[in-house]
Amino acid sequence: MIILLTGHISAGFAQAAKPLMTLKQIDPEFSSIVSRNAKAQILADGFLWSEGPVWVESQKMFIFSDVKKNMIYKWTEEKGKEVYLKPSGYTGTLPRGGELGSNGLGLNLKGQLVICQHGDRAVSIMDAPLDKPQPKFIKIAFNYKGKRFNSPNDLAFLSNGDIYFTDPPYGLEKNVDDPLKEAPYQGVYRISANGKITLLTDTLTRPNGIGFFPGGKTILISNSDPSKAYWYVYDLDKNGLFTHGRIFYSANEAAKTAAGMPDGLKIDKKGHVFASGPGGIWVFNRAGQLLGKILINDLVSNCRLSGDEKTLYVTSNHRVLKIVLR
């Protein structure tokens, strides 16, 4: 095992005495993915809970949700942090708190912004160009068999246009005990290209991050439950339904001593997994072998790779980070 310290917090932060990022190599393959010279920097701060990061190559911008502020921010090299869209996840008129805004974000085959909206309990498409955002939304999923979703959280896209998404209770003000909760479970669903909604599993206690391995035949889902802090993997059958579900990796022991749960994740073109978990970002190969960790001095929620996969953008509690991997 090799531990390297790299990147420091800027002056003015309470944690200034601690390194911003620590690399923990467990397998030699880790160094081919994350260089020993990897550097981390804080891009922006001042958020209440940053989530749902997306790198938009066509606009050279990084966008992400502030779930509690009900808005999406963007960051560019030229202008830094700016408000991108408000409101982003709750368009109702009744005052409410909690995690009401957008969470997971993504781009569909048409290049449109698809948004998991906690407050509106829907998966929606922003009805505006990426470079001229407006809070106008087309809901593409808001209930299953007449029961409203809990709070769509994260999503992944197949090459045929199907969208898979998780639906934990985190956007409900009283979480799993909220009187407005209609489904008796936490589900993972598919929105087919023709608009049909399919329940894929109702057995996960807190489904959260989601992503496809290259080829689109296997899917990885994180479960952010302290008693079942697992990453699960499923194969897809010929109809795109889940089969052969099993545990990919357990973070139960780590969760006892480090802050954070299995949450957002991203998978690169070679099948390497970057998954937020206890202590920071865990890096796996597609066989479920833990290669190393990018330990972050903060509570990490999610991450996103740049187009060339040389940079990792991390949403980390009240701030967002940029890590040059190699």
Residue ranges per structural domain of the chain: 47-285
Is domain 47-285 in CATH 2.120.10.30, yes or no?
yes
**pTM greater than 0.85 (yes/no):** yes
What residue type is 81 in one-letter code? Answer: K
Average pLDDT over residues 291-305: 97
- State how far the Cα of 260 lies from the Cα of 143, in Å rounded to an integer: 30
Instruction: Indicate if the pLDDT at residue 216 is higher than 80.
Output: yes
Q: Is the pLDDT of residue 10 over 50?
A: no
Residue with tokens 């920071």: 280
| pLDDT over threshold 80, residue 201 | yes
State what percent of residues in the chain have pLDDT above 70: 95
pLDDT at 1: 55
Tell me how many degrees the CA angle 266-270-274 measures, rounded to the nearest 5.
25
Burial of 205 (0-12, 13-18, 19+ CB in 10 A): middle
- Here the tokens at position 13 are 């932060």
Q: How many CB atoms lie within 10 A of CB 109?
A: 12
pLDDT (0 to 100) of residue 18: 78
Distance CA 140, CA 314 (A): 28
User: Strands across the sheet with 230-236, in order?
Assistant: 207-212, 218-223, 230-236, 242-250
Contact 4, 23 (CB under 8 A): yes
Total Cβ atoms within 10 A of residue 1? 7
Q: In this predicted structure, which of 7-11, 33-37, 250-254, 268-272 has the lowest mean pLDDT?
A: 7-11
CA 50 distance to own-chain centroid? 10
Contact 161, 193 (CB under 8 A): yes
- Under a CB-based contact definition with an 8 Å cutoff, are residues 220 and 267 in contact? yes
Query: pLDDT per residue over 18-72, tens digit each?
Result: 789 999 999 999 999 999 999 999 999 999 999 999 999 999 999 999 999 999 9
